Amino acid sequence: MEEKMEEKIKDLNLLLMLLTGWEEDSRKNPGEKIFRAWKGYLFETLNKLADEKLIIQFQNTKSVTLTDAGKQKAEQLKKLYLH
């Protein structure tokens, strides 16, 4: 049961990142857009999302980048929970 709850928490955190994030120009690849969100979530949850390649964390920053896979999963969760 606890594992199921942890999975829901992880999913809902990813969804919140999509809902509260923003798109900006990539500093690394000019002309490319990236989707960022603040990383004010439990470190354990952020680490799990990073391990699953749904977000990218950077040291010394207060935000994360959602990967294409992360954005896709978050959009699916949006349809599941909000439609």
* Average pLDDT rounded to a whole number, residues 41-46: 94
User: What pLDDT, on the 0 to 100 scale, is given for residue 3?
Assistant: 85
- Whether 82 maps to a domain, the answer reads no
9-31: pLDDT as tens digits: 999 999 999 999 999 999 889 99
CA-closest candidate to residue 17, choices 51, 40, 34: 40
Identify whether 68 is part of a domain: yes
Number of domains in the chain: 1
Residue 44 in domain: yes
- 11 lies in which domain range? 2-75
- Give me the pLDDT at residue 83, please: 80
* Within-domain flag for 26: yes
Rounded Cα distance, 33 and 14, in Å: 19
> Contact at 8 Å (CB) between 36 and 21?
yes
Sheet of strand 22-25: strand arrangement: 22-25, 33-38, 63-66, 55-57
The CATH number of whichever domain residue 39 belongs to comes to: 1.10.10.10
For residue range 46-70, list pLDDT tens digits in order: 999 999 999 999 989 999 999 999 9
What pLDDT shows up at residue 54? 98
Residue 51 vs residues 7, 39, 46, 47, 81: alpha-carbon distances, Å: 13, 15, 9, 6, 24
